[in-house]
Amino acid sequence: MKKGQIYEGTVKRVDFPNKGIVEIESEKAVVKNSMPGQKISFSVNKIRSGKAEGRLLQVLEKSPLETREKACKSFGECGGCSYQTMSYENQLEMKKEQVKRLIDQVCQEYNYEGILGSPIEWGYRNKMEFSFGDEIKNGPLALGLHKKGSFHDIITADDCAIVDTDFNQILSTVLDYGTELGMDYLHKLTHKGYLRHLLVRKAVKTGEILVNIITTSQEELFHNPDDDVQQEDTIIDESNSRDVFATLAERLLELPLAGSIVGIHHTYNDSHADVVKSDRTVVLFGRDYIYEELLGLRFKISTFSFFQTNSLGAEVLYTKVREYVGETKDKLIFDLYSGTGTIAQLLAPVAGKVTGVEIVEEAVEAAKENAALNGLSNCEFIAGDVLKVIDSLADNKPDIIVLDPPRDGIHPKALEKIIGFGVEKIVYISCKPTSLVRDLEVLQAKGYKVEKVCAVDMFPETVHVETVCLLYKVK
Ligand SMILES: C[S@@+](CC[C@H](N)C(=O)[O-])C[C@H]1O[C@@H](n2cnc3c(N)ncnc32)[C@H](O)[C@@H]1O
């Protein structure tokens, strides 16, 4: 194949995360955003170490696996979902094989338990961070997700199928309000503009909803009619002016939702990075946390703290983790990369002691509070980088280590130190199997054997998949 040329071919398979493999004669090209069995045309834009990388131009023929219609108007363009037109059964089969192919590259003998699906296929997300922007340059205000492959263009996600309908009603109400008031969104290049994100969280078990509208502090960019109802010449000041979104909050509280809104906030964030964080937050209504329940335990989740985004899927994942951890009676367990301490707390009731380590202090505070809420006194949570904190734990050799690192896997030096404990059993949970196999190679070279692997689909319709892996130290 030659760079710049256009080719046609059938996608033989899709490797994790969304690498469609097309073979033409004896040559191979990787084309992203395709489905197994589709006939496509693509242009080759790179040849790297003999392998061609192509850009999808057109789907010429549907895949035989595409047996159903799309579930929202934006499927295909929106960067959120990739497989809506494939049955869930076929999605699971594809992800199961993707994980197996990766693990097979580094492990010879292990028990592959296949894949466990999400208990619900649609409306499973308990948190969304929608972005404000426009779909086409200078087009109307949009609120939703990024277009596939685009940094700038936003597609309004008012009929998103992987969130429940409460999210869609809230999104439409916020978008209508911003449009009515002529609010502009933050333009990334000039850093001018007001609206940034809409964050919505909803707990499946309690139905509690949290809404947070995130803006810059550039309020001079538009006129706030709410100020007119206040005394004349009001200065923008929390003490004597209604917040820009006070009327919006009233409208949100009147929506006929299935769940109930327990908090509405307006967060100011002037940071240049495209992240959702707070410089200052104004409470418009209620509290800044919701309660969720997983496997009989209760968790307080604040606006910004990490929590698995599919609550019912998390129960499946954590049940598998508990099974792999096995007998815990009187055992000392480390839960490294512990987030809000969910895994630690699910293991604690029958363990000797569980120590969680997590870098985000807010998450550690939430973990401590949650452990107290659940009446667990044998959990300890330490804030800090695993790489450093682990040195201070050197004298407390654990019996079992649970690892649940972020996407990039474990820092090589941290992994070395973890291996240094010489524990008999490690349970590794990974949201990116390509990072997992890199770390498994190191663990195997240092005397661990992969005993069992199970994939868990926490993210139906998308390219993502979670993997749980049980390792034993070879005697
Ligand atoms: C995939 S989440 C797992 C959270 C938790 N186990 C759960 O199921 O909710 C990974 C966590 O690792 C934390 N993290 C990232 N880098 C870290 C580091 N170097 N040291 C400690 N924690 C880290 C993140 O803040 C995040 O909470």
Mean pLDDT of 28-35: 95
Whether the Cβ atoms of residue 452 and residue 426 lie closer than 8 Å to each other = no
Considering the domain 90-120+309-473, what is its CATH architecture? Answer: 3-Layer(aba) Sandwich (3.40)
The atom of ligand 1 lying closest to the CA of 317 is: 8
Strands of 271-375, DSSP E: 280-286, 289-294, 297-302, 332-336, 353-358
133 CA from centroid of ligand 1 (Å): 30
Atom 2 of ligand 1: nearest residue by CA position = 406
381 CA from centroid of ligand 1 (Å): 12
Map out the domains of the chain as residue ranges. Answer: 6-66, 90-120+309-473, 127-293
51 CA from centroid of ligand 1 (Å): 34
173 CA from centroid of ligand 1 (Å): 34
Sign of the four-CA dihedral 336, 338, 341, 344: negative
C-alpha dihedral, 39 to 45 to 46 to 47, nearest 10°: 60
Domain 6-66 in CATH 2.40.50.140? The answer is: yes
C-alpha dihedral, 100 to 106 to 110 to 116, nearest 10°: -30
Higher-pLDDT residue of 114, 233 = 114
pLDDT, tens only, 152-193:
899 999 999 999 899 999 999 999 999 999 999 999 889 999
Whether the Cβ atoms of residue 339 and residue 371 lie closer than 8 Å to each other = no
Give 127-293's CATH code, choosing from 3.30.70.1520, 1.20.1600.10, 2.40.50.1070, 3.40.50.620.
Answer: 2.40.50.1070
- 90-120+309-473 and 127-293 have identical folds: no
Encoded tokens for 53: 């990388």
The active-site residue out of 78, 81, 431, 454 is: 431
User: Tokens 């804030």 identify what position?
Assistant: 383
pLDDT, tens only, 261-275:
999 999 999 998 877
Mean pLDDT of 55-77: 96
The atom of ligand 1 lying closest to the CA of 407 is: 1
Return the closest-CA partner of residue 335 out of 308, 314, 356, 352: 356
Atom 17 of ligand 1: nearest residue by CA position = 359
pLDDT, tens only, 212-252:
999 999 987 665 555 555 444 433 444 446 889 999 999 99
177 CA from centroid of ligand 1 (Å): 36
The preferred substitution site among 338, 357, 428 for testing ligand 1, maximizing ligand atoms within 8 Å of CB, is 338
Encoded tokens for 298: 């209760």
Active site residue 431: yes
Share of the chain above pLDDT 70, in %: 96
- Give me the pLDDT at residue 137, please: 86
The residues that bridge with 422 in the sheet, in sequence order, are none
Give the predicted TM-score (pTM) of the model.
0.93
Mean pLDDT of 126-150: 94
- β-pairing, 19-24 vs 280-286, is unpaired
- Give me the pLDDT at residue 153, please: 94
pLDDT band at residue 141 using 50, 70 and 90 as cut-offs: very high
Ligand 1 pocket residues where CB is under 6 Å:
306, 308, 337-340, 342-343, 357-360, 363, 385-387, 404-406, 431
Encoded tokens for 20: 């469609």
Buried b (16+ CB within 10 A) or exposed e, 211-234: bbbbbbebbeeeebebbeeeeeee
Q: How many residues does the chain have?
A: 475
Whether the Cβ atoms of residue 429 and residue 467 lie closer than 8 Å to each other = yes
Look over the chain and give the mean of its residue pLDDT values, rounded to a whole number. Answer: 93
- Give me the pLDDT at residue 231, please: 42
Whether the Cβ atoms of residue 288 and residue 265 lie closer than 8 Å to each other = yes
The atom of ligand 1 lying closest to the CA of 340 is: 9
Sign of the four-CA dihedral 372, 338, 203, 317: negative
The preferred substitution site among 275, 337, 429, 430 for testing ligand 1, maximizing ligand atoms within 8 Å of CB, is 337
Whether the Cβ atoms of residue 340 and residue 303 lie closer than 8 Å to each other = no
Whether the Cβ atoms of residue 466 and residue 456 lie closer than 8 Å to each other = yes
pLDDT, tens only, 329-356:
999 999 999 999 999 999 999 899 999 9
Encoded tokens for 455: 């994939």
- Give me the pLDDT at residue 413, please: 97
pLDDT, tens only, 389-443:
999 998 889 999 999 999 999 999 999 999 999 999 999 999 999 999 999 999 9
The atom of ligand 1 lying closest to the CA of 431 is: 1
pLDDT, tens only, 350-386:
899 999 999 999 889 999 999 999 999 999 999 999 9
Return the closest-CA partner of residue 395 out of 432, 373, 421: 421
444 CA from centroid of ligand 1 (Å): 23
Atom 12 of ligand 1: nearest residue by CA position = 337
